Amino acid sequence: MEKKHEGFKPKIIAFACHWCGVGKNEINAIEDFPDFRLIKLMCSGRINTSLILRTFEKGADGVIVFGCPEDKCHYNFGNRNAEEESQIIKEMIKLLGIEQERFILELDFFSEDDKLDSVVNGFVEGIKKLGPSPIT
Amino acid sequence: MYKLKTALEKERIKLFFPHFSPDIHTITRIEPSACRVACPAGVQVKAYIGLIIAGKFEEALELIKKDNPLPGICGRVCTHPCESECNRRKVDEAVAICALKRFAADWELKKQIKRNKPIKRTRKEKIAIIGSGPAGLTCANDLIRKGYGVTIFEKLPFPGGMLTAGIPAYRLPRDVINKEIEAIIDLGVELKTNIEVGKDITFGELKKKGYKAFFIAIGAHMGLKLNVPGEGEYKGFIDCIDFLMSVNSGNHKKPGRKVIIIGGGNSAVDSSRTALRLGCDEVYIVYRRSRKEMPANVSEIEEAEKEGVKIRYLAAPVRILGENGKVTGMECIKMRLGEPDASGRRRPLPLEGTEFIIEADTIIPAISQKPDLSFLPKGHKFKLTKWDTFEVDPVTFATNKPGFFSGGDAVLGPSTVIDAIAHGHFAAHSIDRYLSHKDIKKGISKPQPVREWGFGLEIEDEIPIKRTSIPKLPIKKRLKTFDEVDLCFTEEQAIAEAKRCLRCGHCIECQECVSGCSRRLVMLSFPHKGIEEIGRSPEFILRVPANPNKLPFDERTNDMVITWKDEKERKHTLTLTLEPITCFVDPNMCRGCGKCEEVCLYDAIFLRSTKDGILVSEINETLCKGCGTCVAVCKTGAIKARHFTEKRVEQMIESCLHSE
Ligand SMILES: Cc1cc2nc3c(=O)[nH]c(=O)nc-3n(C[C@H](O)[C@H](O)[C@H](O)COP(=O)(O)OP(=O)(O)OC[C@H]3O[C@@H](n4cnc5c(N)ncnc54)[C@H](O)[C@@H]3O)c2cc1C
Ligand code: FES
C-alpha cells in the first residue's frame, strides 16, 4: 500500500486562528512541514461545514484547524463552536467518502512543547499513507 | 505572548505564507522603564542603550538630545538617579548609564559632526532668560526650537553658570561645556554676558525692549553662614563658590598650605580636590554626619580619598581661630547621629566635651548656598520661600507674577544639573503656552512615581556580568594638573556595558523602526488622548505587512498579483487586494448606540458627534486589531470587517492549492 503513494506530496491546508500560537506567531512550518499551507482566520469558530467541504472540493488532501486552548479563545466561545462544528464536519466527510482522518481540529498544542511537532507529523504521515484525496 | 519565547528560541518565527498575512504587529510598552521615570528630564535611557548596542552611536546621541541638550556635561557630572532605579541592581550592579551617555556624546565630539544651523524665527515674541546655567540653556534651546526670539543675560563674563564657574575642569573639561553651549547658541540664541539683570538693565527696560516673558534661572551662588564665632573675621576664610569661581577663572595661586573644607556636598569635595591640585600640602574635609549621609557623588568621595584628601566624619565647627588677622585653625566638636529629621537623614548631635582643634591657614565653608536676590528691585512682589528661593507652581514653574517663570537652583536651592535641565524644559513648555494664550496648566503631566516594576523580567535567570569600570587617569598624573580624571569607554567597552541592560518593558522605544521604514508602514500612536510632549512617551504601534520584501506587492494599487502554472503549463494569475486587518464603520448605518465602544478591547472605537449633533462611532485604525467583536455586537450592521471575508478566504484556498 505504501509503495502505491511513493512520491506523493499531500496538499494540506491549515486554518489558524489569528490569536492562537500558530496564527499569532506565524510559526514557519514550511521548513518543518513542507506540505503545509497556512490560512489565517479571525477565530477557529469561523470554520463551518461548507468552508471545509469547499476546501476538500478544491483539491486539499487534508485540513487541519488550529485554535486557542479551552478558555483562551479571544471571543470566549469560538473554539467551542469549532469543536461542535468539527463533529458535524467529520460526519459529513465520512458520508461523502472522505476518510475522517483527513480533518483534525487542534486546540491547545502549545501547552506541551513538542506536541505541535508530533501532532503535525502524525497528521502528515497519516495523510501520506492515505494517499491523494478520493474526490480529486 | 503565548509561549512566544519558546517559539523564538526554536527560531520558528518566520512568516509562513508571506503573501497572505498582512498584519498589524503591535509593540506595546508594558511601562516606561524605571530608569526613564527616575530621570527628572525623562531621558529615554533604554532606547539609547539599545542603539549603542546596535552601534548606532549618532542616533543614540540624537535621542538623548531630545530630552537633554547637554549630554556631554550630564554624562560626566550627573548624579544619575536612573542608575539607582536600575533593575539590573537586583542581579548585580546597575548599568553604567551615565558613562554610556558620555560615550555617545564624546563620540560626536571626536567626529566633529556638523554645526547646528539657526532655526527660522516664526514667532514675533521675544523671551529673556536670566542666567546661562543648565536651566537657562535648556529653556533657551526649547524655545528657540519653537520659533521664538531668545536672549540669555549672564552676569559673569562667560556662560554656563555653575558648570563653568563651580565644577572644576578635571571633572568637566571646558571644551566639552563650550561645544555644547555653542550648539545651543548656534540655533540663533542671543547671549549677552557681563550683564546683570536688575542692575545693568532693569526688568522694566527689558519689557520696553519687547521681551514678553522672563525665565529667572539665577542659580544659588550665595554661601550660607556657619554661624560660629570668628566667621569672616580673619584673612584665609573664603566661601567655596568664591574660591572655585576664582580658580575656574584662571587664578591658580594656592590658597594656603593647610586647608579645611566644611561640608559634604559636591562643592566641598570639588573644593578639596581643587585645593590639592593647586599644591596645598594638607586638605581636610570636616563633615558633621557619617559617610553614608554624604550627599556628594560616591565616586567623587572615593577619588578624593585616593588623591589624599582626609575626611573627618561626625565633626562640626565650633569656632574659627585666628591671630594677627589671619586664620590659624578651627575648633571642632565630635558629633553623634540621632533620630532621622524631616529630610530622612539622621540628625547630628554634638557630644559635649569632645572639642578638638585642627590647625589650618585656610578655611573654606561649603555648607550650602542660596540664591543671591540682590538684583531684585526694592518692593518687588515675588513670592519667596523661607530659604530665599522663588516659590513656583510645581508643574508649570510660573511664579506668582504673570509672565515670570523660574527654575533650577533658584527654585530648589543647591541641587543638580539634571533637575535644572528638567525645570528648563517644563518652564519652556509653560512659556510657550503662556505666549500662545493657552491655559498653561493643561497638557503637562508630572512623571509618574516609580511603581513596583514587573516587566516580566526573569531576574533569577540572569547571569551576573561585572559592571565595566570607568577608566581613570593614574593618580600620579592627576595631582599637578586639571586634566580630566574619568576617561571615556572604548567602543567595545561601551557595547559590552550596554548589553548588560535588561530592557525592562520589552520595546526599547528607540523609534528607529519609524524612520527606517521606507514604505512608511510603521507608526507611533498616542492612544491616551491628552498626553502631550514633555518627553513622556507614546504607545508604539507597528503596522507591518508580513515581510514586505517578499510580497509580490504593487504599492500603487495595494494589490498583490500571484501567478502559477497548472499541469498543462498554462499560466494563471490571481489578484488579491490587501485589506488591512481592521474594521470600519458605515456612518450612514450607525445609530450611535455605543455598544461597540463598550466591547472594544483596544480602545480603538469612540463616539464622535457630527456637525448635525448625531453620535456616530469611529474607528481608530491604528489601534484596531480587527478582532471583529464590534462587528458581532453591532445591531444595525454598520461595522464590518475588511478582512477574512468569505470571498477572500476562498481566494486564499484556491491560491494555496495551486501555487507552487
Ligand atoms: C562645586 C559644585 C559642584 C557641583 N557638582 C555637581 C555634580 O557633580 N552633579 C550635579 O548634578 N550638580 C552639581 N552641582 C550643582 C549644579 O552645578 C547646579 O545645580 C546647576 O548648575 C544649577 O543650574 P542653574 O541653571 O539653576 O543655575 P546656575 O548654574 O547656578 O546658573 C545661574 C547663572 O545665572 C547667573 N546670574 C545670577 N544672577 C544673575 C543676574 N541678576 N543677571 C544675570 N545673570 C545672573 C549666574 O552668574 C549663573 O551663571 C555642583 C555645584 C557646585 C557649586
Ligand atoms: S480566538 Fe483563537 S479560537 Fe477563538
Q: Please judge whether A46 and B644 are an interchain contact, meaning their C-beta atoms are less than 8 angstroms apart.
A: yes
Q: Which residues of B touch A74 (CB under 8 A)?
A: 627
> Under an 8 A CB cutoff, do B1 and A28 touch?
no
Chain A positions touching B21 (Cβ under 8 A) are: 26, 38, 40
- pLDDT > 60? residue B28: no
Taking residues B384-396, report their average pLDDT: 88
Cell reading at B465:
556580568
**pLDDT at residue B639 tops 70:** yes
Position B367 pLDDT exceeds 70: yes
Taking 80 as the threshold, does the pLDDT of residue B9 lie above it? no
Q: Does residue B451 sit at the A interface (CB-CB below 8 Å)?
A: no
Lowest mean pLDDT among A32-46, B163-177, B494-508: A32-46
**Local structure of B545: helix, strand or coil:** strand
> Are A26 and B628 inside 8 Å of each other by CB?
no
Residue B4 contacts A, CB cutoff 8 Å: yes
Query: The pTM is what?
Result: 0.69
Q: How far is A29 from chain B (nearest CA, A)?
A: 7
Ligand number nearest to the C-alpha of B201: 1
Interface check A11 vs B, CB under 8 A: yes
- Separation of A41 CA from ligand 2 center, angstroms? 9
Share of chain A residues as helix, strand and coil, in percent rounded to the nearest 5: 45, 20, 35
As a whole number, the mean pLDDT across chain A is: 79
Are B34-115+453-510 and B126-221+371-435 the same fold in CATH?
Answer: no
Of B152-156, B309-313, B449-453, B640-644, which gets the smallest average pLDDT? B449-453
Q: Look at residue A16 in the predicted model and tell me its pLDDT.
A: 81
Lowest-pLDDT choice from A10-19, B464-473, B568-577: B568-577
Q: Would you report the helix, strand and coil content of chain B in percent, each value rounded to 5?
A: 30, 20, 50
> What pLDDT, on the 0 to 100 scale, is given for residue A86?
92
Q: Say yes or no: A26 contacts chain B, CB-CB below 8 A.
A: yes
- Best mean pLDDT range from B9-18, B26-35, B87-96, B580-589: B87-96
- A70 compared with B129, residue with greater pLDDT: B129
CA of B131 to the centre of ligand 1 (A): 9
Pick the residue with more confidence: B197 or A74?
B197
Cβ A62 under 6 angstroms from ligand 2:
no
CATH class of this structure's domain B34-115+453-510:
mainly alpha
- Summarize pLDDT for B234-285 with one digit per residue, the tens: 888 888 998 999 888 888 888 888 999 998 888 899 999 999 888 888 899 9
Complex ipTM value: 0.84
Per-residue pLDDT at B293 = 82
Determine the pLDDT at residue B529.
32
- Is ligand 1 within 6 A of the CB of residue B132? yes
- What integer pLDDT is reported at residue B551 of this predicted model? 47
pLDDT for res B613: 76
Q: Best interface-test mutation with B: which of A15, A28, A114 has the largest number of B CBs within 10 A?
A: A28
Q: How far apart are CA A45 and CA A64, in angstroms?
A: 13
B553 or B348, which is more confident:
B348
Best interface-test mutation with A: which of B648, B653, B655, B659 has the largest number of A CBs within 10 A? B653
pLDDT tens for each residue of B425-441: 889 988 988 888 877 77
Mean pLDDT of chain B: 80
In this prediction, residue B660 carries a pLDDT of 47
- Strand pairing report for A12-17 and A62-67: parallel
* Chain B residues within an 8 Å CB radius of A44: none
Q: Which of B111-115, B370-374, B510-514 has the lowest mean pLDDT?
A: B510-514
The verdict on the CB of residue B272 being under 6 Å from ligand 1 is no
With 60 as the cut, is the pLDDT of residue B12 above it? no
Question: What are the tens digits of pLDDT across the range B47-62?
Answer: 889 889 888 888 888 8
The minimal CB distance from B21 to the residues A26, A54, A59 is found for: A26
Question: Under an 8 A CB cutoff, do A42 and B546 touch?
Answer: no
Q: Which residue would you say has higher pLDDT here, B115 or B585?
A: B585
Give the pLDDT of residue B214: 93
Q: Nearest CA to CA, how far is B538 from chain A (Å)?
A: 24
Taking the Cβ of residue B262 and every Cβ of chain A, the question of whether any pair is shorter than 8 Å is answered with: no
**CATH superfamily assigned to domain B225-367:** FAD/NAD(P)-binding domain (3.50.50.60)
Q: Name the residue in chain B with its Cα closest to that of A17.
A: B627
Interchain CB contact of A33 with B (< 8 Å): no
CB A89 within 8 A of CB A103: yes
Asked if B1 and A25 come within 8 Å (Cβ–Cβ), the reply is: yes
Provide the pLDDT for residue B391: 92
Instruction: Say yes or no to pLDDT of B468 above 90.
Output: no
pLDDT in tens, B61-71: 888 888 899 99
Give the distance between the most distant pair of CA atoms in chain A. Answer: 46
Closest CA to B39 of B91, B79, B88: B79
d(CA B149, ligand 1 centre) in Å: 24
Q: What pLDDT score was predicted for residue B95? A: 92
Question: DSSP letter at B70?
Answer: -
Q: What is the mean pLDDT of residues B595-610?
A: 84
Core vs surface per residue B147-164: b (16+ CB within 10 A) or e: ebbbbbbbbbebbbbbbb
A72 CB near a chain B CB, below 8 Å? yes
Binding site membership of B218 for ligand 1 (Cβ less than 6 Å): yes
Task: Kindly identify the ligand whose nearest atom is closest to the C-alpha of B165.
Answer: 1
Structure confidence at residue B19 (pLDDT):
34
Note whether A42 contacts B628, CB cutoff 8 Å.
Answer: yes
What was the pLDDT predicted at B153? 94
B611 in contact with A, Cβ within 8 Å: no
Question: What is the C-alpha to C-alpha distance for residues B91 and B93, in angstroms, rounded to an integer?
Answer: 7
Burial A96-110, CB ≥16 within 10 A → b, else e: eebbeebbbbbbbbb
Q: Which CATH number fits domain B583-642: 3.30.750.24, 3.40.50.300, 3.30.70.20, 1.10.10.10?
A: 3.30.70.20
User: What's the average model confidence in pLDDT over A72-98?
Assistant: 88
DSSP string, B252-269: -----SEEEEE--SHHHH
* Residue B127: predicted pLDDT: 93
Alpha carbons B350 and A115: distance in angstroms, whole number: 73
Distance from CA of B97 to the nearest CA of A (A): 33
Poorest-pLDDT segment among A30-34, B98-102, B277-281, B488-492: A30-34
Question: Mean pLDDT, to the nearest integer, of B161-185?
Answer: 90
How confident is the model over B391-398, as a mean pLDDT? 87
> At residue B375, does pLDDT exceed 60?
yes
| B610 pLDDT higher than 70 | yes
Sign of the dihedral through C-alpha B143, B147, B153, B159? positive
Closest Cα to atom 13, ligand 1: which residue? Answer: B416
Among A18, A21, A74, the residue with its CB nearest the CB of B3 is: A21
Which stretch of B58-72, B152-166, B347-361, B565-579 has the lowest confidence by average pLDDT?
Answer: B565-579
pLDDT of B131 higher than 90: yes
B7·A25 Cβ contact <8 A? yes
Closest CA to B358 of B299, B312, B292: B312
Share of chain B above pLDDT 90, in %: 18
Residue A74 contacts B, CB cutoff 8 Å: yes
- pLDDT at B405 (0 to 100): 93
- Residue B139's pLDDT band (boundaries 50, 70, 90)? very high
Percent of chain B at pLDDT above 70?
A: 80
| Closest Cα in chain B to A113 | B6
Q: What pLDDT does residue B271 have?
A: 92
CATH number listed for the domain at residues B126-221+371-435: 3.50.50.60
Residues 340-359 of B with CB under 8 A from A: none
Ligand 2 center from residue A40 Cα (angstroms)? 11
Q: Which residue has the cell 526599547?
A: B508
Q: If you average pLDDT over each of B33-42, B377-386, B411-420, B451-460, which comes out highest?
A: B411-420
Name the band, by pLDDT with cuts 50, 70 and 90, for residue B14: very low
Helix boundaries (H) for B186-322: 203-208, 240-248, 266-278, 298-307
pLDDT band at B390 (very low <50, low <70, confident <90, very high): very high
The ligand that comes nearest to the alpha carbon of residue B408 is 1
By most ligand atoms within 8 Å of CB, the mutation choice from B266, B299, B426 for ligand 1 is B266
Model confidence over B480-526: pLDDT tens digits? Answer: 778 888 888 888 999 999 888 887 765 666 767 666 665 555 555 54
Q: What is the pLDDT of residue B26?
A: 52
Q: So where are chain B's domains?
A: 34-115+453-510, 126-221+371-435, 225-367, 583-642
What pLDDT was estimated at residue B43? Answer: 85
Pocket flag, ligand 1, residue B415 (CB < 6 Å): yes
pLDDT tens for each residue of A103-113: 999 886 654 55
- Find the angle CA(B324)-CA(B326)-CA(B331) to the nearest 5 degrees: 110
Looking at chain B, the number of H-run helices and the number of E-run strands are 22, 25
